[in-house]
Amino acid sequence: MTDLESQLKRVSEKLQLMLKQRELLLKENVKLKQEIGALRSERHEHQKTIERLEQQVAISKVSRTEMSEAEKKQFEKRLGQYIKEIDRCIALLGE
């Protein structure tokens, strides 16, 4: 085999190896993107659960009247925000 032929063979082998590695990386990339999507969805669900639990704690405090003045003001502010959000939703439904 001539020097040129051996060089071409090495280049061809390296090219084949690179193509295989590229395919593996593309598959891994797709898998990682799916995992990211699943984790984002899971994080969103956890955030919703946290918010719901925080609301339950706030309601529990109100029902036992164990709130400080600052907590009462914060609760009233949050309640006002909920009412505004509900009003906004009703307005959107009426359009």
Q: How many distinct structural domains can be found in the chain? A: 2
* Distance from C-alpha of 67 to C-alpha of 27, rounded to nearest angstrom: 54
What range does the domain containing 79 cover? 67-95
Claim to verify: residue 2 and residue 14 sit in the same structural domain: yes
Claim to verify: residue 58 and residue 79 sit in the same structural domain: no
SS3 content of the chain, % helix, strand, coil (to 5): 95, 0, 5
Q: Give the position of tokens 């006002």.
A: 80
Q: pTM surpassing 0.75?
A: no
* Distance from C-alpha of 93 to C-alpha of 25, rounded to nearest angstrom: 47
Assign 32 a pLDDT band (cuts: 50, 70, 90).
very high
Look at residue 64 and tell me whether its pLDDT is greater than 80.
Answer: no
Q: Are 54 and 74 in contact (CB under 8 A)?
A: no
Which amino acid belongs to residue 17? L
Claim to verify: residue 41 and residue 13 sit in the same structural domain: yes
Claim to verify: residue 4 and residue 47 sit in the same structural domain: yes
Sign of CA dihedral 78, 84, 86, 89: negative
